[in-house]
Amino acid sequence: MNPSSARTYLGYEALVRKYQLRVPPLRRVFVATERTLESRVLNADGEELIELPLQRISDTESLVGQLTFALKREHLNLTVLGALFERREVLEGVQTWLEDKPSSKYSRMAAHLATWLTGHEFTYSLPAGSPRVPLLDPKLYVTGPAVSDPKFGVSNNLLGDKYFSPLIRRTDKLQSLLAAGLAGKVTDAFRNIEPEMLSRAVDYLYLSETRSTYNIEDEIPDNNRAAKFRRLLEQAGEPGALTEEQLCQWQSQIVSALGTEYEFRSTQNWLSRSGRLRNIADFIPPPPEQVRPMMAAVSKIASWASTGQLDPVLAAATASFGLVYVHPFLDGNGRLHRFLLHHILRQSGFTPAGVVLPLSSRMQKQLDRYSALLKSYSRPRTELLEYMLDSDSATILVRTAQPLWLYAYFDATDLCEFILECCKVCVEEDLLTEVVYLRAHDATIKDLEAWLDMRQSALNALIDIIVQGNGTLSKSKRKHKLVEGLSEEQIDRIEKTVSEHFENYIDSRA
């Protein structure tokens, strides 16, 4: 965004510019102009510029005025506040604000957040009768268990803690998805499928989930690794916290034997796409000293799914993406992050025991969106860092500071909506589509076996080829070794039988 000089920046953007804070670019910028009407412009990258009439803004110059605007009008941005409260002159300004307006909800919120983020102690005594102030409005945000701060009369209802605190806004889309009763739909969907058919459908879903989670990483696992990951999925949901020991045990089952790790990383890692002499880091995760406290906070949020303190899908989404953002291991973080979705959903009872939703398969079908969610966190943070990779990209030296506030706080609304939508489509479409497939397959086999003498495995493969061709065999496929010895008339009959029984499946897939 490049507002003209006639605009006066407001709130967080004004503070970023005034104090030259090195933080990720704001996605939502407020400015004051001479125009009499409010306007909003949303660009193709999702960045929003909001213009407000200047005459409605009482203070566009002072720290107090801009902090008040930010806390009153904007989404809470702990990253900007974390960087801001590192400045001595800002803390002194907040102290003066407390002295001038000790009953102000915004002076108290600012002081509480400064203390929470930095540990700074203010001289202050709460005036008698001052009402308690929640940091987040529960009508606008998903909140966590409230922790009272009696000194400032503030109720801290943020998700997580100072080491990891995602923000989830109650958008219309999020509210609609939360109100859809997905947990009940999951239970009903599995309950309404006859046991034998359910067993076969679940077997396929496990296979699909295993293949997809490796495919997302552009990997093809050998049979042994695929079998180990499937067994891990089958064990998902067992009681227990996400301890370092537990996560290491899971990691060892996901990666090759040479990649097994027995504790969280003690070195700085990074992600880089392959390419000759590229020497570019696409993501530099938090430094090793931040990994354990951040993962403890991730574990806390994950536990809220089982205790009812947070919707299971929101807990699974924030904790699983939290893990991949922290990147506690040198290898296997992506697959572990997707496994964690299943573990938390099953542990909370959202997904029934013994079954699995094909979430990775759904993510793979929306890979651009999934990748964009990962990059929305990694790219703006990495772009702030100065680093040097050696010529072989074997070691990295990060020259700039990597403060906790750069990594611990982010807006998780979009990723929560994405995982909720994936769950919804998995139960309303993917599961039912697989059942439709199996029923069509059974009917086709029954009709074909009445007159066709062919090995079961070959017949299954031939049916799949015809289904993949939307009910037809192309000219080249009619020369396939599976149909050797069959007349054109017989091939036409097979094709017609498959097409008739799979009509609904082919239509639903299209």
Tens-digit pLDDT profile for residues 325-376 = 999 999 999 999 999 999 999 999 999 999 999 999 999 999 999 999 999 9
What pLDDT is recorded for position 366? 96
Burial class (CB in 10 A: 0-12, 13-18, 19+), 238: exposed
Closest Cα to residue 319, out of 212, 247, 424?
247
What pLDDT is recorded for position 3? 43
Closest Cα to residue 441, out of 504, 509, 498, 503?
498
Closest Cα to residue 410, out of 331, 324, 330?
324
Q: Does domain 172-425 have CATH number 1.10.3290.10?
A: yes
Instruction: Evaluate whether 423 touches 315 at the Cβ level (below 8 Å).
Output: no
Whole-model pTM? Answer: 0.93
Instruction: Evaluate whether 159 touches 310 at the Cβ level (below 8 Å).
Output: yes
**Structure letter (DSSP) for residue 426:** I
40 Cβ partners below 8 Å, 6+ apart? Answer: 48, 49, 50, 51
Closest Cα to residue 291, out of 235, 345, 251, 329?
329
For CATH 1.10.3290.10, the residue range(s) in the chain are 172-425
Helix (H) or strand (E) holding 40: strand 39-42
What pLDDT is recorded for position 1? 44
> Which ranges of the chain have pLDDT less than 50?
1-5, 276
Token pair for 196: 């034998």
Instruction: Evaluate whether 127 touches 86 at the Cβ level (below 8 Å).
Output: no
Tens-digit pLDDT profile for residues 249-291 = 999 999 988 899 999 999 999 998 765 456 789 999 999 999 9
What pLDDT is recorded for position 279? 77
Tens-digit pLDDT profile for residues 23-76 = 999 999 999 998 888 999 988 878 899 999 998 888 888 999 999 999 999 999
What pLDDT is recorded for position 46? 80
What pLDDT is recorded for position 44? 80
